[in-house]
Amino acid sequence: MKEMPAGEFKNRCLALMDEVQQTGEAVLITKHGNPVAKLVPVKRTGDDIFDSMADKVKVVGDIINTVPPEDWECH
């Protein structure tokens, strides 16, 4: 795993994010030689919170103009 001082990370942040995405190699970011953060690639899976309900939920009606709580039906 690469190590990089925070100052260098600040200067190269956007390019480094692209590099980590392409290579899959994590980068340990340090301050005064002490580890403070790690930049790691994201592995996309179907378990992503935004995809978790895909094909399981159907939107019915107007989701923009909602019904006021006093008109809700509770069973």
Percent of the chain predicted with pLDDT > 70: 87
User: Is residue 7 predicted with pLDDT exceeding 70?
Assistant: yes
The candidate with the shortest Cα–Cα distance to 26, out of 9, 11, 7, 10, is 9
pTM: 0.58
User: Is residue 46 predicted with pLDDT exceeding 70?
Assistant: no
Domain assignments of the chain as residue spans, ordered by start: 2-69
Residue type for 8, please?
A: E
Class of domain 2-69: alpha beta
**Mean pLDDT to the nearest integer, 37-50:** 79
Q: Which residues contact 9 (CB under 8 A, 6 or more apart)?
A: 16, 27, 29, 39
8 A C-beta contact, residue 36 and residue 30: yes
**Mean pLDDT to the nearest integer, 24-40:** 96
Tell me what pLDDT residue 55 has. Answer: 75
Q: Which SS3 state, helix, strand or coil, does residue 48 take?
A: coil
**Mean pLDDT to the nearest integer, 33-42:** 96
